[in-house]
A and B are shown apart, each in its own frame.
Chain A
């Protein structure tokens, strides 16, 4: 009798283990397809930014694939990142795409346009809590951009062209 229980337990253990393994491999496939796209809630996003080099000037752009003016200005942020990366500037594109559209819309978009700036996803429905933490004046409309370094922070609820972005970034590199 004891032996029987032991065998069942053993079988169960093995079977359980196999299931766990197969789940893991599925997860790995998904993340490989999403090219390790990071999805954060707001606290995680804040913590992630804190891990970055504090000597840099960061340009954080809030956007989404469904936001036409956001998509229009992405090339300017890309150009800014390329031109000013040697001046300690880092552009990070924070996507607000809906979670269910990450696979269907966001990843295909990133693949198609080959964005060079880092893209992370912010998925946090409690926007009434986190929007004022980004900036107290932000109504929540996108596109929106925040530029900051150790000395200075500026927030923009507006669209940019390249020249306007350059004008702003130069204020931070004096």
Chain B
């Protein structure tokens, strides 16, 4: 009887955890959980560290995806533009580095140095965070706004509408969303889609 109960309990745990990991993730309005992840400088970074922030531009990105690389300068520009206004960029590298050694901590450090990243570039060690967010690819952006309940998801999707040519962009989705939040307005376009590299598990 005790064993049956144990098995049953184990089964419940398995079902519950799989239900949480299989591609659900956050929707607009959900409260995002904080994380504590290692930055390229060796320090641990959490959203809670940012006392003065109004919110965050969380970008799941990596070194090895051409789409992510195409957006590196634009992510840096977002941080330069919005960190002081209260919406800093936090970049999280979600790939399994056994599958993609080009995304390991040393490679992340080298890339950040070469590109002069001024935002934290965190390793999702153990790949625990990206499934909670529901990120499926790089780059994949989540804009969060601090509320009394916690960081609330306000935007999910692409950075803009032209991965090939920054100068030919016509819709700046992320900027539009952050601008709206800064002005106390609702985000008009809350979800967009772009091609990206599947996160490597």
Contact = CB atoms under 8 A, between A and B. Distances in A.
B193 A125 contact: no
Interface residues of A, number: 22
B105 interface: no
B137 A140 contact: yes
Nearest to A126: B161
A126 B162 CA distance: 7
Nearest to A70: B198
Contacts of A60: none
Nearest to A69: B198
Contact of B168 (A67, A96, A125): A125
A128 B164 contact: no
A102 to B, nearest CB: 12
A128 B157 CA distance: 9
A148 B128 CA distance: 35
Contacts of A128: 157-158, 161, 171, 173, 192-194
Interface string B11-37: 000000000000000000000000000
B161 A141 contact: no
Contacts of A99: 164
Secondary structure of the B contact surface, majority rule: loop
Contacts of A132: 193
Contacts of B137: 139-141
B interface bracket (residues with beta carbon within 8 Å of A): 20 to 34
A157 B136 contact: yes
A140 B193 contact: yes
Given A125-B168, A141-B137, A131 B195 contact: yes
Interchain residue pairs A-B with the least CB separation, the first 9: A141-B137, A141-B198, A139-B136, A131-B193, A128-B192, A125-B162, A141-B136, A140-B193, A127-B194
Interface of A: 64, 66-69, 96, 98-99, 125-128, 131-132, 138-143, 157, 159
29 contacts: A64-B66, A66-B66, A67-B198, A68-B100, A68-B200, A69-B198, A69-B200, A98-B66, A98-B164, A99-B164, A125-B161, A125-B163, A125-B164, A125-B165, A127-B193, A128-B157, A128-B161, A128-B171, A128-B192, A128-B193, A131-B193, A131-B194, A132-B193, A139-B137, A139-B140, A141-B196, A141-B199, A142-B195, A157-B136
Given A127-B158, A138-B193, A139-B193, 19 more contacts: A66-B65, A67-B197, A69-B200, A98-B66, A126-B161, A126-B162, A127-B163, A127-B195, A128-B161, A128-B171, A128-B173, A131-B194, A139-B137, A140-B193, A140-B195, A141-B195, A141-B196, A142-B195, A157-B136
